[in-house]
Chain A
């Protein structure tokens, strides 16, 4: 069966520090992968999506970047975190017509 793993679950980082969040998928090949952010009390904002290795599309300009070094690995990064980067980060993969499956998320607090 297909599963999606995301870590860490929670993270507290100081302003200006780097960030690396990892997402991996098992049980499928060549998935479409997505990074979303959910700010407190707000909806999900699509940050990046990838249809294949090395292929990244960015939805909004911001302090973050994404990479897909392997077929089933999707990484979200930042060189220097801002306070406004705080939020709930969710990785998702496309299950075709039937919607997305999300990882359990990383709750990031920038202090």
Chain B
């Protein structure tokens, strides 16, 4: 079983749509959680941390369920510029990355 699993997609959505990505992790001792964004042929960049109580940053909402070892990212009112690959990241002693979910937002 992979340490961090994500639906690879691709997700193709129209502008303005709401889209949700899910991620599961295997190590119950994982300490912290993140979503990164990676544009084509670029390095990953931190999108947001994920807190136990859930957190929101503008159109982005992240949720964590420690009991189910499950993380989610919700994007509301999708923009063309949201097109990218979204990486779920779990920190144990070091960071473990999911393979990413590809999102394409179309006009």
Name A residues whose Cβ lies closer than 8 Å to a Cβ of B.
Answer: 34, 36, 42-44, 46, 49, 88, 90, 92, 97-105, 107
Q: How far is the CB of A61 from chain B (nearest CB, A)?
A: 17
Whether A34 contacts B94 in the complex (CB less than 8 A), given A43-B99, A98-B49, A99-B34, comes out as: yes
Give chain B's interface residue range (CB within 8 Å of chain A): 20 to 34
User: Could you tell me if A104 and B94 are in contact, using CB atoms closer than 8 angstroms?
Assistant: no
Within 8 A of A (CB), among B25-51: 32, 34, 36, 41-46, 49
Partner of A44, one of B46, B49, B87, B91: B87
Residue of A nearest to B91 (CB): A99
Q: B89 contacts A43, CB within 8 Å?
A: no
Given known pairs A34-B94, A49-B94, A99-B89, the reply for A42 and B45 (CB within 8 Å) is no
Give the A-binding residues of B (Cβ under 8 A).
Answer: 4, 32, 34, 36, 41-46, 49, 87, 89, 91, 94-100
The CA of A25 and the CA of B87, in the complex, are separated in Å by: 24
Contact B97 A43 (CB under 8 A): yes
Query: In the complex, what distance in Å separates the CA atom of A43 from the CA atom of B100?
Result: 7
The 7 A-B pairs with the shortest beta carbon distances in the complex, nearest first, are: A43-B99, A102-B43, A44-B97, A105-B43, A99-B34, A99-B46, A43-B97
Q: In the bound complex, what is the Cα–Cα distance between A109 and B99 (angstroms)?
A: 21
Contact A90 B43 (CB under 8 A): yes
Question: What residues on B are CB-neighbors of A102 within 8 Å?
Answer: 43-45
